[in-house]
Structure 1
């Protein structure tokens, strides 16, 4: 049986992907800071572990769950923080703002990947970092978040460069109708954005095709 860990699996794209993998017969470990919301993600094969990905004890709980399931075939870094809102310009940022984004978006994925790396390498598994066009484009207010996603892309692909048994993807899903996207545009109508569920078939197609490691846009290439 294939095993996946999807961080930030309580809502949005993480939730949609976790349920889709479970429908395929995978065992899927998900986490999230809101235990109540996490409990609403229900299905055969779903293992829910509430907690903050930046917390070492929580990461240890995730590893223990994976070991109990017999390994790890897919790690998806989906959990992330938008940072302060309304989105500030770079010259308005503080060290506290930097830390609030750096720890969940870069630090936690780095240490979590290293923690579970033996399991992932053993299975010749796949490492995925959910990124953003803000990692390669420049939009006013999106500098800190975009820089964190650019760093995540580099880290994910660096793991593949250093571990030939791994395949790694930085995946840009495009704009989606999520709570995070709404937080970025307070008071605006974002109902024209596609739901996260619409991106899942493209992610699954990528995982099925298993091309070489690299950066991929979900829209178009795997439609």
Structure 2
């Protein structure tokens, strides 16, 4: 059975994705800071037939990250690493003039440093995964212009963004090919590419995470490295960010999961995607 690590899996998008993978036959390593909600989620996942290792802890703790990867190894390896745990840096969000530097450091530690630490810990398992086929064996294009550049969707989509500088360097006549390997799915935000008042600290952290993921994709062409903007969601994180906003009309995290599963189903190439562009035709956007 394929194995995934999902951080921040006790609620929200992490829990919804974990449930979908469990129903597909995946085994799971899940974490969250609060033990009670995490164990409740784990019972639900086990009820769907998954083997589950539920480890409460903080992703900024190197020992905790090592334990997550060790648990995946015990389950048989690692095919998908989902960096979903996040921190805002201020609750509620504030303008940069009032942004606590300690809060910004916390946002960077959770959103940028911890994901890299987890990737480093898990890299050997991800490299040895054979779950995803090569780029050569699938149709890599999904939907309309899923890649998001600094100017929006106007950039021509390149289905093999890393091929020229990595596997085909000095081999211009060779076919595009990337060996089988695992995947890293990083949950990004439109705040990483758009300037919204009060979202500066969080957006800066997500922008750094995006660039970090892009470089990882260039350095590890055998892996898929996806960074996905899930769009608006009705989550506790959003409620903490903007407590005065009425979020009742925002989509539930479960509505985003089919878009994430399309990345797996199509063995999509590394890149930045939006859930809206990935959503299957006819999917309910609510």
Is the structural similarity TM-score above 0.5? Answer: yes
Question: Is 1:59 aligned to residue 65 of structure 2?
Answer: yes
**1:109-134: CA deviation from partner (whole Å, max 9, x where unpaired):** 01110110010011100111100000
- The answer as to whether partners of 2:127 and 2:182 remain within 8 angstroms in 1 is yes
What is aligned with 2:93?
87
Question: Is 1:27 aligned to residue 33 of structure 2?
Answer: no
Q: Secondary structure at the match of 1:53?
A: coil
**Alpha-carbon distance in 2 for matches of 1:3, 1:85:** 34
**1:165-206: CA deviation from partner (whole Å, max 9, x where unpaired):** 101111011010000011112133201000000110111012
Query: Within 5 A, what are the aligned runs for 1:166-205?
Result: 166-205=223-262
Deviation of 1:86 (Å)? 2.4
**Alpha-carbon distance in 2 for matches of 1:186, 1:222:** 28
What is aligned with 1:164?
221
Deviation of 1:221 (Å)? 3.0
- The answer as to whether partners of 2:262 and 2:278 remain within 8 angstroms in 1 is no
- The answer as to whether partners of 2:89 and 2:105 remain within 8 angstroms in 1 is no
Q: Secondary structure at the match of 2:94?
A: coil
What is aligned with 1:151?
208
Deviation of 1:150 (Å)? 0.9
Q: Secondary structure at the match of 2:112?
A: helix
Deviation of 1:82 (Å)? 1.1
What is aligned with 1:8?
8
**Highest CA radius of gyration, 1 or 2?**
2
**Alpha-carbon distance in 2 for matches of 1:181, 1:159:** 28
**Alpha-carbon distance in 1 for matches of 2:217, 2:277:** 24
Q: Secondary structure at the match of 1:61?
A: helix
Query: Within 5 A, what are the aligned runs for 1:35-114?
Result: 35-41=35-41, 42-43=44-45, 44-45=49-50, 46-114=52-120
**Alpha-carbon distance in 1 for matches of 2:211, 2:279:** 22
**4+ runs deviating over 2 angstroms:** 220-223
Segments of structure 2 that go 5 or more residues without pairing to the other structure are 130-180, 281-286
Q: Secondary structure at the match of 1:40?
A: helix
Deviation of 1:101 (Å)? 0.7
**Alpha-carbon distance in 2 for matches of 1:86, 1:194:** 21
**Alpha-carbon distance in 2 for matches of 1:221, 1:113:** 24
